[in-house]
Structure 1
């Protein structure tokens, strides 16, 4: 399908209590019941009202630690990763609370066996009528490895080699039942055709899976690696790529690179790869109101707390707030476990001339994701320009506040995009893969 025949894609990223804004949990406009089922169900229904392609749940398998292995800073300050409900449980909840929106769950290839991944996600896919997606991660920290019985996390290259093998096995398990294997012929007494159910190749599982294929065949594959190896992995496997670019030019270069790799290295149709850029909208009914909202968000950030979180992230004992951010990042290279993330921090800090204090505030405000501030029309202008200039196939919307940021976007920006004809007015398909094809 040509690009001109496609519309913009929107995905909502959900990881309370902090979101991408570190002070979300303290803001009076944010709901505090993020451990309840009602919080997640209400949010999913809001995004479904806005015709979002998908809601997806981030995850990590350990409370983030500092260089000494202490998790105290994260716990005291509600740092990102202090709380994570299991994403499969939340996906199952959303499956029952909604009828159309896609549902993405994060599962690590480094620690979860392929058979368990295949069965859990295909179960959600069946329960939701074909709306599930797998956000593939390799995990990044020693803390996660130790929680799962390993001494340390494997090097990045080894993790991606493992991920290639796991994804290949998971797909084979999903396809271990041919599409017409479930006969269910009551008259003839034939439940399924055993000749159309197969074992899988390789050493990571034997199969077959205990489930037939779903309404969309199998869950959609989603990935967010930003290193060169991560981009190669995305080009090989991903149907949805979660990307971060700090300028329209960087966004466009990344999208072009992944599409070219998919076509040239793996023989894929590049139009089957949707590259979505992460953005944090701050919506007001006027530009002035939006700027005032942003000022309020910034004013609520406590600098000592933000500096403590940045020091924890960089595994630094302490940081000089007046020092150039690039020097601090260079001195603590490799601390985060994510090469792509650190490259992005360095590039933004260099381009914007950040001090350590500037970087700490920006990290606490939006984790250096592009921030769109303005009225619905202003934000729609920016999204439309990025979409139509082929910088992105759509956007991962990351809220500052739950649920109000999503409600502002759905009530204001979505109708504006719909009036312009760049975003759907209603779902036309039943499955997530059908949403992504439109």
Structure 2
């Protein structure tokens, strides 16, 4: 159980044009200027007003394809993955518009050299005063491999083994400059002390020898974030991650996942309290419970059955003949296991389909509405109470908040839920006073001194 002074972490996941709600891009309450800097800076200022830990940008390196290798469905429907700006470039604009908000950038270890990862992220980390997190992904699809000149994506174990080497090399590059290596000693004419700058040990595993062209991070090193949910992914997260982004449909699933992650972190020789488990939630709010459910129904009413079935077929690489709305969703998922490239996400879909005895139509609607993530639907005070119960019971160390609509859903959360969390003593009222420009670094936020 939590102590009375423990507070949760909150991260906002931002991936327009759809978020997890497939009709986001065409909803009248959603902004459509997600190719402009103003979309992200306005949203970031809202999150900073709410004292969020971080804005996190996911990424993929190809437009998602269907079973025939076509991207038509994704682009015609505005499906998830149809648009991705480069996260590091986008977050550079956010950094200039904010002072405290963490900046979470997704970068693939499969197709990005270790030196380039280390240099890009550390550049942004210096420019933002120590607010960067690296969301580590291995990439999952052949479509992404094709964009980098490869015929197929490597097998999962091979991708994760390579990712282990890349992460270790990036950390070695970040640590190559000792904290006091940059001396700027004018009288002695010494810019930096070369004795305090080193190459990557053991020749950099053939990935990079270093040293990096940048001194040590203002926060020691950027925060590491990861979302692996398979056995191999959990081992990877337990070894490296400061923050784990998880998908779970029920409170019990959250508790089970968090216990498993903490056990694996301990087995890896790490302090489990230094690994924050943050499941995804998609709150739908209204002044009352009835109003919130009415708002949810409005989201459902914008869905078109043929459209959501086509999107589900694209996701699972299924043929049109398999999308009979009345057939078993469980059978469909079992036939196409592995299609999404995310074992943990597919396990959550399958568990939910079994538990709720879903038809293909039910699954298509749920996938288009929220991707079946945990969805509190209620007034702000009731949603705050629900999140506190999850936090206090050990189901989560905080949450990744996924808005249904940009930017109104996050504005509602900041205006309604955040004050209720603060009133209950479960969320910060300010960012504090340590660190550059009066703000704690992101590492200090997740790992406070003595914490």
Structure 2 SS opposite 1:371: coil
Shift in Å at residue 182 of structure 1? Answer: 0.7
What is residue 151 of structure 1 aligned with on the other side? Answer: 151
Matches within 5 A, 1:21-420: 21-201=21-201, 202-264=205-267, 266-318=268-320, 319-420=323-424
Q: TM-score, normalised by structure 2?
A: 0.95
Shift in Å at residue 437 of structure 1? Answer: 2.9
2:247·2:344 contact (CA, 8 Å) conserved in 1? no
Shift in Å at residue 169 of structure 1? Answer: 0.3
Structure 2 SS opposite 1:55: strand
What is residue 436 of structure 1 aligned with on the other side? Answer: 446
* Aligned-residue RMSD, C-alpha: 1.0
Q: TM-score, normalised by structure 1?
A: 0.98
Q: Deviations over 1:228-272 (max 9, x none)?
A: 1101100000000001112111101111111111112x2111111
Structure 2 distance, partners of 1:125, 1:282, is: 33
Structure 2 distance, partners of 1:340, 1:420, is: 32
2:5·2:426 contact (CA, 8 Å) conserved in 1? no
Structure 2 distance, partners of 1:272, 1:4, is: 19
Shift in Å at residue 5 of structure 1? Answer: 4.1
Structure 2 distance, partners of 1:397, 1:306, is: 23
1:21·1:364 contact (CA, 8 Å) conserved in 2? yes
Shift in Å at residue 316 of structure 1? Answer: 1.0
Structure 1 distance, partners of 2:33, 2:91, is: 18
2:5·2:425 contact (CA, 8 Å) conserved in 1? no
Structure 2 distance, partners of 1:7, 1:339, is: 31
Structure 2 SS opposite 1:100: coil
Structure 1 SS opposite 2:352: helix
Q: Deviations over 1:7-56 (max 9, x none)?
A: 11000000000001000011000011111000000001100000000001
Shift in Å at residue 3 of structure 1? Answer: 5.6
1:6·1:437 contact (CA, 8 Å) conserved in 2? no
Q: Runs of at least 4 residues of structure 1 off by over 6 A? A: none
Structure 2 distance, partners of 1:77, 1:399, is: 19
Structure 2 distance, partners of 1:273, 1:51, is: 20
1:221·1:238 contact (CA, 8 Å) conserved in 2? yes
Structure 2 distance, partners of 1:105, 1:141, is: 20
Structure 1 distance, partners of 2:29, 2:369, is: 16
| 239-248 or 411-420, larger mean C-alpha shift | 239-248
Shift in Å at residue 6 of structure 1? Answer: 2.9
Shift in Å at residue 191 of structure 1? Answer: 0.6
Q: Deviations over 1:200-238 (max 9, x none)?
A: 032110100000012101110000011111011000000
| 245-254 or 160-169, larger mean C-alpha shift | 245-254
Structure 2 distance, partners of 1:334, 1:240, is: 25
Structure 2 SS opposite 1:106: strand
Q: Deviations over 1:160-202 (max 9, x none)?
A: 0011000000000000101111111111111111011001032
Q: 5+ residue gaps in structure 1?
A: none
Structure 1 SS opposite 2:74: helix
Structure 1 distance, partners of 2:246, 2:343, is: 14
Structure 1 SS opposite 2:404: coil
Structure 2 SS opposite 1:369: coil
Structure 2 SS opposite 1:221: strand
Structure 2 distance, partners of 1:213, 1:14, is: 29
Structure 1 distance, partners of 2:377, 2:345, is: 23
Q: 5+ residue gaps in structure 2?
A: 435-439
Q: Deviations over 1:76-110 (max 9, x none)?
A: 00010000011011111111110001000000000
Question: How many residues align structurally?
Answer: 436
Shift in Å at residue 4 of structure 1? Answer: 5.0
